[in-house]
């Protein structure tokens, strides 16, 4: 674990490796892990369970403020609970993936969840010595003062292949086609309210298209260890309440 509190902020589009790489980095550095995307997925699940119209932005934003959400910050057990119900698996289903962008592009929702995310980052810095926080606009809005800000990117082909393999175990042409809408459309929709394809000033860009998982993890760890400012060449805690 680093000697002083540290925040590692990681952005990136779907399939860039940001979630799996961030968990591995948190595990190896002994830091907390915060998946901000899970917060939007949890809210989507909650709204659907209550029969709310996701297109009703005012109602959904109000639901975000009342959301009883608890996230584990253990990279080995990233559990998500809503009103006491474990939704860790349910929020990863196609049902949620296909609709979460309606919630994630709601500006009222984003304001509320960003507030919670910032507060939790500060809490984890103090209580756990630091956090790896990943999602959308983390490097520029949620944690712009993070000691390390990284944007993971990858080609569309690489991202589709990874996400398809994650969902189906293989990546046939039929499976790639079925997954394309989930990945490409969601990134396009989310890009209307968040920038995560090009690194902002001071943000380190890392293209993982031709990197293995272990190479990607090593590249991020090297960046943290050495404080690099230029792209690297490719070669269970208690649940935290968010109210």
Give domain limits for the chain: 6-242
Spatial separation of the C-alpha atoms in residues 79 and 23, rounded to whole Å? 13
65 labeled part of a ligand binding site: no
227 labeled part of a ligand binding site: no
Q: Which two tokens stand for residue 147?
A: 């000691």
Task: State which fold the 6-242 domain adopts.
Answer: Rossmann fold (3.40.50)
Spatial separation of the C-alpha atoms in residues 184 and 198, rounded to whole Å? 16
Tell me what pLDDT residue 177 has. Answer: 64
List pLDDT tens digits, range 81-113.
999 999 999 999 889 988 999 999 999 999 999
171 labeled part of a ligand binding site: no
169 labeled part of a ligand binding site: no
Tell me what pLDDT residue 78 has. Answer: 85
> Of 126, 35, 42, 18, whose CA–CA distance to 76 is shortest?
35
Q: Give the strands of the sheet with 239-242, arranged side by side.
A: 85-86, 80-82, 69-72, 239-242
Of how many residues is the chain composed? 243
84 labeled part of a ligand binding site: no
In the chain, pLDDT over 90 holds for what percent of residues? 59
15 labeled part of a ligand binding site: yes
14 labeled part of a ligand binding site: yes
Average pLDDT value for residue range 66-95: 95
Please determine, for residue 216, whether its predicted confidence score (pLDDT) is greater than 70: yes
> Of 144, 146, 102, 118, whose CA–CA distance to 6 is shortest?
146
98 labeled part of a ligand binding site: no
Average pLDDT value for residue range 186-210: 71
* 8 touches 150 (CB < 8 A): yes
130 labeled part of a ligand binding site: no
């Amino acid at each position: 674990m680093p000697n002083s509190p540290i925040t590692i902020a990681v952005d990136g589009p779907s399939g860039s490796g940001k979630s799996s790489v961030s968990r591995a980095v948190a595990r190896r550095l002994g830091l907390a892990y915060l998946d901000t995307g899970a917060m939007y997925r949890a809210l989507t699940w909650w709204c659907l369970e209550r029969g709310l119209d996701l297109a009703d932005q005012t109602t959904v934003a109000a639901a975000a403020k009342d959301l009883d959400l608890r996230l584990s910050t253990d990279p080995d057990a990233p559990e998500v609970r809503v009103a006491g119900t474990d939704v860790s698996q349910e929020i990863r289903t196609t049902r949620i993936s296909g609709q979460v962008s309606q919630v994630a592009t709601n500006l009222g929702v984003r304001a509320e969840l960003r507030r919670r995310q910032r507060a939790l980052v500060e809490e984890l810095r103090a209580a756990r010595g630091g956090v790896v926080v990943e999602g959308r606009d983390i490097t520029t809005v949620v944690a712009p003062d993070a000691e390390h800000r990284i944007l993971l990117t990858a080609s569309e082909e690489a991202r589709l292949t990874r996400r398809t393999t994650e969902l189906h175990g293989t990546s046939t042409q039929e499976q790639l086609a079925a997954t394309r809408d989930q990945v490409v459309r969601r990134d396009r929709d989310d890009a209307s309210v968040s920038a995560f394809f090009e690194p902002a000033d001071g943000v380190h860009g890392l293209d993982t298209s031709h990197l293995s998982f272990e190479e990607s993890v090593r590249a991020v760890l090297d960046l943290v260890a050495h404080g690099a400012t230029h792209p690297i060449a490719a070669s269970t805690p208690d649940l935290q309440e968010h109210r």
